[in-house]
Amino acid sequence: MRRILVLGARGYLGAPVAARLAAEPDVTVLYGGRGGPREGARGAQGARGGRRMPDLGVDIGSVPVDVLAAALAGLRPDAVVNCAGLASGPASALAAVNARGAAALCEAVAAGVPAARLVQLGSAGEYGPGVPGTPLRESAPARPAGVYGATKLAGTLAVAGSGLDAVVLRVFNPVGAGAPLSGLPGRLAAAFRAAPPGAPVRTGDLGAYRDFVDVADVADAVALAVAAPGPLPPVLNIGSGEPTLVRDLAGRLAGIAGFTGRIEESGTGSERSAAVSWTAADISLAASALGWRPTRTLDDALRSLYEATAPTAGARV
């Protein structure tokens, strides 16, 4: 049995990654997080009810390297998948988890389980502005437009320079069940569900282009990266390979939700949307290195997102 540790296993990406790996017949998934019981944990034999404590209850943004290394040595994972990360918050918190956390994890893996493969989830935010019509390759310059992208890039550099058997999966814009309200698809789904009949939903500008990828396809890519014979390229893009106008995403999600009101745009939208108006991934390297290509459509991802969205108050996005 392969033992695979998933850090951030309760998160938006970590949960589907852990479930996907747990579905493999020869895998035991070890769950990592900041402690506390996790609902409905899944093991190698499938779903299990009840509550379960994490196998590794740490916050990689603050845990001492020697403590983490000792814990890893005790768990003896064959691979470590780092899904832990922050997408929003103060700069100090983003740096602690995305940059310091990735660097500390590399040092701990090297000390505790040096033969383990490390799979790190990166972000398209590391690239910064793209050139309209030109998909971003892994060799493109990294020019992050904000603190989030800069801290994720710092994590990528730590992994790439660690000397470990490691790969960074640079995930573009993931969409699916559990999407957080900090991202536009999650906020839109909640607003469409909560809006009274005929009431508008107000947003910022929706004129940017993004590369949206189903979280289930991201989980498939992780499973392939864990199992692929090495060495792997240091960075692999994980996206759909197609730019989508965010306004079109909003309209498609409205159709799935049965929302018939107006979507009213005002202002400039998010700071990142203003700074990065177009982005799309070149995913050919992931196809050749992993045999991976996305198999779900954007409508599949949006449907999963909406069906999993609990009713909530408020319609301003």
In a domain, 50, yes or no: yes
- Catalytic residue numbers read 148
Q: How many domains does the chain have?
A: 1
Place of tokens 């309760």: 10
Report the distance separating Cα 107 and Cα 68, nearest Å.
9
Angle at Cα 167 formed by Cα 163 and Cα 169, nearest 5°? 150
Question: In which element (H, E) is residue 118 found?
Answer: strand 117-123
Does the model's pTM come out above 0.75?
A: yes
In a domain, 129, yes or no: yes
CB-CB neighbours of 204 under 10 Å: 18
CA proximity to 246, closest of 221, 272, 282: 272
Mean pLDDT, to the nearest integer, of 129-152? 96
What confidence tier does 309 reach under pLDDT thresholds 50, 70, 90?
confident
**What's the pLDDT at 105?**
98
In a domain, 193, yes or no: no
Q: Each residue of 212-251: pLDDT tens digit?
A: 999 999 999 999 999 999 899 999 999 999 999 999 999 9
In a domain, 316, yes or no: no
Range of the domain at 15: 2-178+212-240+281-295
**What's the pLDDT at 272?**
55
In a domain, 91, yes or no: yes
Q: Each residue of 29-63: pLDDT tens digit?
A: 999 988 643 333 333 333 333 456 789 999 999 99
In a domain, 111, yes or no: yes
Non-local (6+) Cβ contacts of 155 within 8 A are 85, 98, 99, 101, 102, 103, 120, 122, 168
Report the distance separating Cα 258 and Cα 115, nearest Å.
51
In a domain, 206, yes or no: no
Q: What is the mean pLDDT of the chain?
A: 91
In a domain, 317, yes or no: no
**Residue 148 is part of a domain; what is its CATH number?**
3.40.50.720
